[in-house]
Amino acid sequence: MATVIATINLKGGVGKTTTTAALAEFMSAEFGYKVLLVDLDPQTNLTTMMIGEQRWQEVNDRKHTVDALFASALDADLPEFDVDRSLVRGVSPLESVRGIDLLASSLDLMETQEEMNAWQYEVPGSLEPLLVLRAALANVRSNYDFILLDCAPNLGIVTANGLMMADAYVIPAIPDVLSTYGIPQLQRRVQRFTDRTGHTLTPLGLIITKYRGSSSLHRTTIERLQRAVFEYDALPAHERASRPRPPTVIPHWIPESNQIAQSADFVDFGTLRQKYGTHGQFETLRNVTDHLVQNVGVYL
């Protein structure tokens, strides 16, 4: 049965989607895992990174996207969504990478999620609108080792569906004030969500992205984030119980790099090392992936 990990951050531009794609490619090519990517962001960036714009248009025209999945749940007159037919198999621009499938997103999801919100208000207290994704993927979950959910930078109904399916989540963030300021609020909202739904969701940590070793701000921000964890652990038990534990900083920091930024292009760079960079970027991304895989085994 697959372990499901959501990548979330309420701040855009932090490398969330690029990190999700890299984790999938390293899980597959370096560690031999079978991975399913689910693009829950209507911006469709993960989708076009993995299959290109032309193939995305074909998939979208056939209505083999998460938008069609949610639309079929809203309208009983629509055909039942066929997940098995809708999955795009063997995605990644790298010919050398195998073992990744994709459930694509769609720009139409922007409108459909508004209808999903209205459904939720019509059935207050019901968890049914939050279980659409989990129910739809139930029959394919056992085909994978990992399912990675790339969530939109919000905690709306579609992201909530991702959280209800996920076993754990990670928070990619640039180590600066704007990118990390909202992390405590995000954690509190996730905690309220899990309290309300009864769904267990394990935080796996903070993934530092776009790190600049020459930046004193980046270094001091990481130190602040690490110190917050130590200070929390030193609190009396009754104080720890009153608020979420700050996220552990995963001890491998993804550097700011033109090659990592260019990895979003749908281009066959040859190998993962050539795609992500030969000056420590490949090793860092591999170490981040290994860290997550090992911690999933410990905490889940």
Q: Does 259 map to a domain?
A: yes
Which pLDDT score is estimated for 123?
A: 79
What residue type is assigned to position 65 of the chain? Answer: T
Find all residues with CB under 8 Å of 221, minimum gap 6, and list them: 175, 176, 177, 180
**Residue 43: domain span:** 3-212+248-295
Q: List pLDDT tens digits, range 5-36.
A: 999 999 989 999 999 999 999 999 999 999 99
Contact predicate 188/242, CB 8 Å: no
Q: What is d(CA 254, CA 260) in angstroms, rounded to the nearest whole number? A: 9
The whole-angstrom distance between residue 267's C-alpha and the CA centroid of its chain comes to 22
* pLDDT at 119 exceeding the cut of 90: no
Q: Is residue 79 part of a domain?
A: yes
- Asked if the structure places residue 225 within a domain, the reply is no
Give φ, ψ of 43 to 5 degrees: -70, -15
Report pLDDT for 89: 97
Note whether residue 237 is domain-resident.
Answer: no
Whether residue 23 is contained in a domain is answered as: yes
Q: What pLDDT does 73 receive?
A: 94
Question: Is the pLDDT assigned to residue 83 strictly greater than 90?
Answer: yes
Closest CA to 141 of 185, 99, 83: 83
pLDDT in tens, 176-211: 998 999 999 999 999 999 999 999 999 999 999 999
Distance CA 39, CA 46 (A): 6
224 is a domain residue? no
CATH of the domain at 190: 3.40.50.300
For the cut 90, the answer to whether the pLDDT of residue 269 exceeds it is: yes
At 300 the pLDDT is 78
Q: Is the pLDDT of residue 157 over 90?
A: yes
**And the tokens for 159?**
């992201």
Q: Is residue 277 part of a domain?
A: yes
Does 221 fall in a domain? Answer: no
The 3-class secondary structure across the chain, one letter per residue, is CCEEEEECCCCCCCCHHHHHHHHHHHHHHCCCCCEEEEECCCCCHHHHHHHHHHHHHHHHHCCCEHHHHHHHHHCCCCCCCCHHHHCECCCCCCCCCCCEEEEECCCCHHHHHHHHHHHHHHCCCCCHHHCHHHHHHCCCHHHCCEEEEECCCCCCHHHHHHHHHCCEEEEEECCCHHHHCCHHHHHHHHHHHHHHHCCCCEEEEEEECCECCCCHHHHHHHHHHHHHHHHHHCCCHHHHCCCCCCCCECCCCCECCHHHHHCCCCCCCCCHHHHHCCCCHHHHHHHHHHHHHHHHHHHC
As for how many domains the chain has, the answer is 1
Q: What does the pLDDT average to over 60-70?
A: 97
pLDDT over 90 (residue 290) = yes
Tokens of 171: 């928070």
Whether residue 46 is predicted with pLDDT greater than 90 in this model: the reply is: yes
